[in-house]
Structure 1
Amino acid sequence: MNYQFNKLSQEQAEHIAFNWKYERAYSFYNMTADEEDLTEFLNPLQRGDKYFIVTKGNEEVGFFCFENEGESIDIGLGLKPELTGRGIGLEFLKVGLDYAMSKYNPIEITLSVATFNERAIKVYKKAGFESTENFMQDTNGSCFEFLKMKYKCAK
């Protein structure tokens, strides 16, 4: 069965924001953990056309955010909490990369990930992302270290 991408609806955004809860250290990624991210995610005007729900059959699998920056696309993503740690992250990521390349035709795709999230970093590296820089960012009520990663698209 194939993955489907559809524009994230208001109902889906509210469901994800208030019901998708990650455990332990990964609670950092709960939408309610950062007021600014939550506001963007819940506001249809701020969310715009950049957020997509990903389904497989009738099941919500995750979401992607694609920030079009010209020749580069910056992505954000979230896998449904119950599906994390089950070995499908790489497949989910690759589906998102394929979608971004077909929709936007970028030269590169970038993302940022909290450095403590070694599980995600491992998946990104398996998919072909390379580390480019570390930086500090204010989020979730404190300052955290992030890793910027880049994926070169085949042309």
Structure 2
Amino acid sequence: MQFNIRGMTEQFAVEILNWKYEAPYDFYNNDLSAENIRELLDQKYYSVVDEYGQLIGFFCIGSAAQVPIGHVYGVYLDDHIDIGLGMKPDLTGKGYGYSFFAYILQYIKETYTNKIVRLTVAKFNIRAIRLYEKLGFRRKTEFINHSTVFITMLKE
């Protein structure tokens, strides 16, 4: 599968907000609302499409990739590039994650040279954490928001 990065469009934002993941990943489900569409269009969100222009995932950078309560814990004080990502639900768990995220990381590396990349992941998401560790991320800090524990991970 080929990957290409595109700007976020309203059509892609609506598609992403309609994605439904199965438990326990339903934690990542969103509501389709004008406010959520606006966030995907106004923040630094990018779509990732295949060779046919079909949406397969997205990523975001900066504050859009941070869990707001993390600021209370001081986990975002260092000047790193924060990244968040998601893949179309019917493509998850099929072995595409490594090449998908490696492609995004290459883009980040070329765009933001000499920056440490940081991501925040829910601790229960063992599948994602394994992938991130395979790609060279190491665990840094844990913090809690309501009943969910989050982990920040760094790649230098």
Q: What's the TM-score, normalizing by structure 2?
A: 0.82
| Cross-structure match for 1:66 | 61
The answer to whether the Cα contact below 8 Å between 2:2 and 2:51 also exists between their aligned partners in 1 is yes
Contiguous gaps of at least 5 residues in structure 1? none
Distance 2:114 2:125 in 1: 26
Name the SS for the 2:46 alignment partner. Answer: strand
| 2:149 aligned residue (120, 131, 145) | 145
Say whether 1:129 aligns with 2:137. Answer: yes
| 2:90 aligned residue (69, 78, 82) | 82
Name the SS for the 2:132 alignment partner. Answer: helix
- Cα deviation code 1:58-79 (max 9, x no counterpart): 2211001011799521001001
Aligned length: 142
Q: CA deviation at 1:114?
A: 0.4
Matched AA of 1:72: H
The answer to whether the Cα contact below 8 Å between 2:10 and 2:41 also exists between their aligned partners in 1 is no
Contiguous gaps of at least 5 residues in structure 2? 64-75
Say whether 1:5 aligns with 2:5. Answer: yes
| Cross-structure match for 2:45 | 51
Distance 1:90 1:74 in 2: 18
- Cα deviation code 1:43-72 (max 9, x no counterpart): 15x743511110111221100101179952
Distance 1:93 1:8 in 2: 17
Distance 2:56 2:139 in 1: 26
Matches within 5 A, 1:82-121: 82-121=90-129
CA RMSD, Structure 1 to Structure 2 (Å): 2.4
Name the SS for the 2:24 alignment partner. Answer: helix
Q: CA deviation at 1:102?
A: 1.2
Distance 1:7 1:90 in 2: 22
Distance 1:81 1:148 in 2: 23
| Cross-structure match for 1:14 | 14
Name the SS for the 1:90 alignment partner. Answer: helix
% identity of equivalent residues: 35
Matched AA of 1:63: F
Q: What's the TM-score, normalizing by structure 1?
A: 0.82
More strand by share: 1
Distance 1:80 1:145 in 2: 24
